[in-house]
Amino acid sequence: MAAVTARVGVFGGAFDPPHLGHVELARAGVERFALERLLVRVVEDPGHKSVSTPAAVRLRLAELAFASVAVAEVAVDAFGRTVDSLEALALPDPVFLVGADEFASFLEWKEPARVLELARLGVATRPGVERARLDSVLAALERPDRVSFFPIEPLPVSSSEIRRRAAAGDPLDGLVPAPVAAEIARLGLYRAVETAQGGGMLGTEPSERTTPT
């Protein structure tokens, strides 16, 4: 009898830090695609953006953030681009989860056609992202059938805003999971002047997120 292949999802980014929007996207993606495993990948060096904390620290924050997602497996990703990460993982037709903002810039990613050969895309949509933007990207793809949309609960949160609040000593209630807030406070993270631009699933400057941010 042939072995049954588990349904695997991939979700990643800088997670600097991970927030409730990331967790909601992961939770909804697992439910929508009936995933049996979700590989949460903390990108060591995003390349396209600066990060405020070392990968080991962001890994710990991600472990705390996604502990509530039973099928999540958190690890560091050494690759800075989605196509390279997927090539290395060599998974049998996984679902790569992204936010709508990231998908809006999908045509600018490295080898987007190859990405769609290696994985299906699960795109999380929310109010505020114009569907026309997404449809224009979809129309330009050779394999639009490899893209599925699913709704998520809108959460007005971004990693860059969390870093600014942490730098100012403001509470992070309602923005990150409680264990993440406690670890940020314990380590005194983001207390330096915030200089990073954008970040998180709802960042203002969407770009390619490898096993995304």
pLDDT tens by residue, 177-192: 999 999 999 999 998 6
Query: pLDDT digit string (tens) for 112-137?
Result: 999 999 999 999 998 777 889 999 99
At 174, which amino acid appears? G
Are 93 and 192 spatial neighbours (Cβ–Cβ below 8 Å)? no
Mean pLDDT score across all residues of the chain: 88
Using CB atoms within 10 A of its CB, is residue 210 exposed (0-12), middle (13-18) or buried (19+)?
A: buried
State pTM to two decimals.
0.88
pLDDT at 153 (0 to 100): 86
Query: pLDDT digit string (tens) for 25-43?
Result: 999 999 999 999 999 999 9
pLDDT, average across residues 3-29: 91
pLDDT at 62 (0 to 100): 98
Among 166, 152, 184, which residue's Cα sits nearest to residue 21?
152
All structural domains of the chain with their residue ranges = 8-187
3-class secondary structure, 140 = coil
pLDDT at 175 (0 to 100): 96
Q: Could you please state the CATH topology (level 3) that the domain comprising 8-187 is classified under.
A: Rossmann fold (3.40.50)
Kindly report the backbone phi and psi dihedral angles of residue 111, in degrees, each rounded to the nearest multiple of 5, phi listed first.
50, 60
Query: pLDDT digit string (tens) for 142-177?
Result: 999 999 999 998 888 899 999 999 999 999 999 999
